[in-house]
Amino acid sequence: MERIKFVIIEKSYLIRKGIASIINRIEHATVVKELENLDEINSALLKYTPDFIVVNIGILSDIDTFRNTEIKADLSQTGIGIASGNSAEKEKKHGLREIISTLDERDDIYNKLQSLIREKVDSRHKLSQQTELSEREKTILKHVAKGLTNKEIAEKLFLSAHTVITHRKNITNKLGIKTISGLTVYAILNNIISIGDLE
Amino acid sequence: MNITPDMKMADVLFHNYTLLPVVSRFNIKLGFGDKTVSEVCRNSDVNLDFFLEITNSYVDEDYIPQKELNTFPVSLIVQYLKKTHQYYLEEKIPEIERNIQRVLDAEKTINDKFSLVENFFTEYKQELTNHINREEANVHPYVLEIEAAAIKNEINKSLHSKIRKYSINDFASEHDNVEEKLFDLKNIIIKYLPPCNSSGLCNSILIELFRLEKDLNAHANLEDKVLIPKVAAMEEKLLALYKA
């Protein structure tokens, strides 16, 4: 199973490396990117599609850079705040999912992180048990391999383009193959389509 | 551990063997004895600071480029990027192709299945070649022209309309990831091909694919994090100059 991905945004080198090494020790979890500030947040999120974002509460208040409201809304699900020192800040949630204080005991930190990771892993498991393509998905894959566009497939199968896109996303998630050529190879290997069909 | 001028070049490679092709790209040959990084660079006529930035960011993805990186001429970066392109097209790709051919020769029973991998890889090679040709034919001359104008601090009408028509940020947004296909290929070989008896050959294909992927990522990072911001800043300066 793909691991649960974390991005850390924290100015302090010591804290950043500390939290990263803790996360990397937890089963199924991995830190994919460490950032010092919010500058590269948008591109990092696009590139790494993290499951959780660990962010210093201090930076968070730098609200202007967080103008992207989508990210903000996401943070209530994906955000883990780092509250430093003895501030009362750790009592508030700051619109985030969880808060870790630099004064937290070892077990507290592990428990908080582990329960978030566990939850994610469980929901992934439910999804990943279905790696077999459904009949519908096989049909769509066949047309994709033949080189039809989403719109053409939609017309052929009397579906909306949106539905076709959803099916395609599911196919890619199940197989871990993104490109059309890759999907075509898969379809031939699994006799969903024959080489003759491609002519 | 960062690579520093006083380290012995041999030690650098003992610790990070993945740097071997990178070092070759600088035309640095093996047989260093106990020479330090700075001595080897001096002897081989290589810009030491540039060498350090490239190697450090190659081994450590989190390495933050020093400010000096911005003082390197664009031409030096372009020269390095070209060398890297050459390495892909003249060494890495043919090497993988040869191994694919060997598997095809050895595995008669799954030959038809494995030839799909061959086709897939040929397609990938074409895509990568196009990508590289486009960069060398359009992007590199363009950035060199921008640099020359920025140094002279003057901009003429034709360059102005060029920037307006196609700026470096357009290149950045078109900068398609050639890694996607590579990822799929690894996935297909590891998960979906029928079991292959020539496991040694299959493994070396996979290892080469993983290495190529790492190298392409470092290459893209150099373009995205260093070249593009640098050129974008020059464009901005030139446009402001034109207005004035």
Q: Which domains does chain A have, with CATH numbers?
A: 4-128 (3.40.50.2300), 135-198 (1.10.10.10)
Q: If we measure between CA atoms, which residue out of B47, B14, B50 comes closest to residue B32?
A: B14
Report, as an integer, the average pLDDT of B181-204. Answer: 88
- Do residues B87 and B64 share a domain? no
Weakest mean pLDDT among B26-30, B108-112, B153-157: B108-112
A-B CB pairs within 8 A amount to 40
Shared domain for B165 and B224, answered yes or no, is yes
Q: How many domains does the structure of chain B reveal? A: 2
Chain B CB within 8 Å of residue A132 CB: no
Asked which of B68, B84, B111 is the last residue of a domain, the reply is B68
Residue B241: what pLDDT? 86
Domain containing B61: what range?
9-68
Average pLDDT over residues A5-12: 93
Q: Are B94 and B155 members of one domain?
A: yes
- Surface-to-core class of residue B164, CB atoms within 10 Å of its CB (0-12 exposed, 13-18 middle, 19+ buried): exposed
* Co-location of B142 and B128 in the same domain: yes
pLDDT above 70 for A52: yes
Distances, alpha carbon A128 to alpha carbons A1, A47, A125, A139, B124, in Å: 8, 22, 5, 21, 29
Do B100 and B25 share a structural domain?
Answer: no
Instruction: Out of B68, B86, B117, pick the residue that ends a domain.
Output: B68
Residue B3 lies in a domain: no
Does B123 share its domain with B46? no
Q: Which residue of B has its CA nearest to A190?
A: B192
Residues B39 and B138 in one domain: no
A117-121, Cβ contacts within 8 angstroms, sequence gap of 24 or more: A117/A4, A117/A26, A117/A27, A117/A28, A117/A29, A120/A4, A120/A51, A120/A52, A121/A1, A121/A4, A121/A28
The mean pLDDT of chain B is 88
Q: Are B34 and B106 members of one domain?
A: no
Cβ(A189)–Cβ(B193) below 8 Å: yes
- Closest CA–CA distance from residue A177 to any residue of chain B (Å): 5
Contact residues for B195 (Cβ-Cβ < 8 A; gap 6+) = none
Kindly report, residue by residue over B19-63, the tens digit of the pLDDT.
Answer: 999 999 999 999 999 999 999 999 999 999 899 988 988 888 767
Indicate if B36 and B136 belong to the same structural domain: no
Q: Is residue B204 part of a domain?
A: yes
Q: Is the pLDDT of residue B69 over 60?
A: no
Top-confidence residue, B48 or B70: B48
Regarding whether B143 and B60 lie in a shared domain, the answer is no
Higher pLDDT, A59 or A139: A139
Residue B4 lies inside a defined structural domain of this protein = no
Q: Is the residue at B198 inside a domain?
A: yes
ipTM score assigned to the predicted complex: 0.77
Closest in B180, B191, B192 to A179, CB measured:
B180
> What are the pLDDT digits (tens) for A156-190?
999 998 899 989 988 988 888 989 999 999 999 99
**Residue-wise pLDDT tens digits, B85-96:** 999 999 999 999
Shortest distance, CA A180 to any CA of chain B (angstroms): 9
Q: Do B55 and B82 share a domain, yes or no? A: no
Do B144 and B214 share a domain, yes or no?
yes
- pLDDT on residue B19: 94
Does the pLDDT value for residue B65 go beyond 80? no
CA dihedral over A16, A20, A23, A28, signed as positive or negative: positive
User: Taking 90 as the threshold, does the pLDDT of residue A23 lie above it?
Assistant: yes
What is the Cα–Cα distance from B12 to B41, expressed in whole angstroms? 13
